[in-house]
C-alpha cells in the first residue's frame, strides 16, 4: 500500500539553527514527492517537489529537500531557521495510478527566538 510517514508531530528549533522535517514514503514505481506549508488559518502553499533529476531540490523561502531512493526518504531542510518558518508542514506523494496525493499527517514546526 502506498503511504507517507512524518514521524514527528512537532519539531522545535532555535532561530538561526538548521532545521530538518522528516518524511518517508512507500510507493510503487517512481515517486512524485511534494512538500507543502500551512500557516494558521491559511490554505496549503507549495514549497517544492521532486519528479526526476537532481536528488537535491530547492524550493521557496530557502527550503530544500533531498530525495533518497535507498532510504525512501524526502526530508525537508533549511540551513538557518527563521521565526516566520513556524507553521505546519505536509509531505505528500503522488499515486502512480492516478493524480491523487497521499498525505503525511503533518509536522508542526516551531522556531523559537
Partner 1 sequence: DAGVIQSPRHEVTEMGQEVTLRCKPISGHNSLFWYRQTMMRGLELLIYFNNNVPIDDSGMPEDRFSAKMPNASFSTLKIQPSEPRDSAVYFCASSLQGVGYTFGSGTRLTVV
Question: Is there binding between residue 51 and partner 1 (CB under 8 A)?
Answer: yes
The answer to whether 56 contacts partner 1 (rule: CB under 8 A) is no
Question: Residue 93 is placed in which grid cell?
Answer: 506523494
31: its cell numbers: 515517486
Question: Of 15-34, which residues contact partner 1 (CB under 8 A)?
Answer: 32, 34
Q: Which of 10, 28, 30, 45 forms a contact with partner 1 (CB under 8 A)?
A: 45
Q: Is residue 42 within the footprint of partner 1 (CB under 8 A)?
A: yes
Q: Where are the beta strands (DSSP E) in 1-113?
A: 3-5, 10-14, 19-21, 24-26, 32-38, 44-50, 56-58, 64-68, 73-78, 87-94, 101-103, 107-112
Q: Which residues bind partner 1 (CB under 8 A)?
A: 32, 34, 36, 42-46, 49, 51, 90, 94, 98-101, 103, 105-106
Amino acid at each position: 500500500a502506498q503511504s507517507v510517514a512524518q514521524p514527528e508531530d512537532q519539531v522545535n528549533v532555535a532561530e538561526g539553527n538548521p532545521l530538518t522535517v522528516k518524511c518517508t514514503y512507500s510507493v510503487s514505481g517512481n515517486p512524485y514527492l511534494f512538500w507543502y506549508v500551512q500557516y494558521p488559518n491559511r490554505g496549503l502553499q507549495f514549497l517544492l517537489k521532486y519528479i526526476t533529476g537532481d536528488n537535491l531540490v530547492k524550493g521557496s523561502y530557502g527550503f530544500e529537500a533531498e530525495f533518497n531512493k535507498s532510504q525512501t526518504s524526502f526530508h525537508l531542510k533549511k540551513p538557518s531557521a527563521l521565526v516566520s518558518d513556524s507553521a505546519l508542514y505536509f509531505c505528500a506523494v503522488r499515486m502512480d495510478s492516478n493524480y491523487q496525493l497521499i498525505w503525511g499527517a503533518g509536522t508542526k514546526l516551531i522556531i523559537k527566538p
